Amino acid sequence: MKVLITGATGLVGQELVAQCLAKGYTVNFLTTSKKKLVSKLNYQGFYWNPKVGEIDEKCLMNVSVIINLAGASISKRWTSSYKKEVLESRIDTLNVLYEVLDKSKDHKVTSFISASAIGIYPNSVDHYYHEEETAVDDSFLGEVVFAWEKKINEFETLNLRTSKVRIGLVMSANGGALPEIAKPIKYYAGAAFGSGEQWQSWIHISDLSRMFLFIAESNLKGVFNGVSPNPVTNNRLVKEIAKILEKPLFLPNIPKFIMQTILGEMSYILFASQRVSSKKIEEEGFIFEYQNICNALENIYDKSGMCNIPENNVRNKYAP
């Protein structure tokens, strides 16, 4: 299989590339940064500048699957100009891909799989979200993901099998939210946020990358939640990280207004609650390697013997 990956140089992309190469797949990737270009037999970079509609059309050569991960990070202060970049980076990239596929008469692409995010689901501590949910969160993130998915749906008109993976909190030692949450805990200053009752639907980075490939290999289409079977509350997440790092937690939860003062509107990410189901992808036959947070963290921090629950005994422990 030959796969074209956008955002391949990012957190999820790097793991996905590693898994593709380990399986013997050939990877083409698109990057906005010329210094990240690499040219190897099985891993070839191509430059694009979606802002001005520029793309190297050779990136499509013999590609059967496109996996789209590109987009400006949401973990920067949400100024009005940065908010524009978060949205436009997702829409511009899709526009460029759409146009090049539409124009190329002899491409071999059959599947288009794109990242999306669970931020589309309304903030709630009660709901248990499945893919059929139609309500959209009334926030900047909800607005971005809704527009992003609407654009992704247009790829169906090109007769491609089109899928969206609504990604949750990606757990990795190399970037994303986990190192940021773990940092104060390491320095004895860790605490949960607000009531700590908000749900965090997380996924181990290895399972997420395997899920993208599972969708490609199984010719699936539609929406799939990219979350593990057992979401946890923020209170529990912080406790589990502290346990694995063998650090005490003694500070009270950090009130919302403090984080709002420090981070501005972006603090929303810390307090939003989405309890999301992984049932649909499991029913397609996908098996999670990391089903509970303790085992995932044990793997990420390279510890063992820290979890009292055996991995195979916790399936959907928290599902209603």
Ligand X SMILES: NC(=O)c1ccc[n+]([C@@H]2O[C@H](COP(=O)([O-])OP(=O)(O)OC[C@H]3O[C@@H](n4cnc5c(N)ncnc54)[C@H](OP(=O)(O)O)[C@@H]3O)[C@@H](O)[C@H]2O)c1
Residues that bind ligand X (CB under 6 A): 7, 9-13, 31-33, 36, 50, 69-73, 89, 93, 115, 117, 167, 169-170, 176-177
Q: For ligand X, give the closer residue by CB, 11 or 61.
A: 11
Q: How far is the CB of 140 from ligand X (least distance, A)?
A: 13
Nearest one of 63, 65, 66, 85 to 74, comparing CA atoms: 85
Type of residue at 249: L
* CB of residue 299 to ligand X, shortest distance in Å: 17
Measured from the CB atom, the residue of 11 and 263 that comes closer to ligand X is 11
**Sheet harboring 161-167: ordered strands across?**
54-55, 43-49, 26-31, 2-6, 65-68, 111-117, 161-167, 222-226
For residue 250, the minimal CB distance to ligand X (Å) is 28
Alpha helices in 23-135 (DSSP H): 80-103
The minimum distance between CB 313 and ligand X, in angstroms, equals 27
* Cβ–Cβ under 8 Å, residues 215 and 65: no
User: Residue 13 Cβ, how far from ligand X at the closest point, in Å?
Assistant: 5
The per-residue b/e assignment along 175-199, b for 16 or more CB within 10 angstroms, e otherwise, is bbbbeebbeebeeeebbbbbebebb
- Of 241, 265, 91, nearest to 179 by C-alpha is 241
Closer residue to ligand X (CB): 55 or 109 = 55
CB of 248 to ligand X, least distance (A): 27
Which parts of the chain fold into alpha helices (H)? 11-22, 80-103, 140-153, 177-186, 205-217, 234-245, 256-263, 268-271, 279-283, 293-300
Amino acid at 237: L
SS3 267: helix
Q: What amino acid occupies position 38?
A: V
To the nearest whole angstrom, how small is the minimum distance from the Cβ of residue 69 to ligand X?
A: 4
**Minimal CB distance residue for ligand X:** 10
- CB nearer to ligand X: give 220 or 272: 272
Residue 220 Cβ vs ligand X, minimum distance, rounded to whole Å: 18
Nearer to ligand X, 84 or 108 (CB): 84
Shortest spacing between CB 106 and ligand X, in angstroms: 26
Q: What is the C-alpha separation between 201 and 168, in angstroms, rounded?
A: 5
Return the number of the residue (167 or 307) whose C-beta is nearest ligand X. 167
Q: Which is nearer to ligand X, 17 or 60 (by Cβ)? A: 17
**What does DSSP assign to residue 130?**
-
Task: Give 73 or 218: the residue with its C-beta nearer to ligand X.
Answer: 73
* Residue type for position 106: D
For ligand X, give the closer residue by CB, 151 or 257: 151
Q: Is 238 helix (H, G, I), strand (E, B) or coil?
A: helix
Instruction: With beta carbons less than 8 A apart as the criterion, state whether 110 and 160 touch.
Output: yes
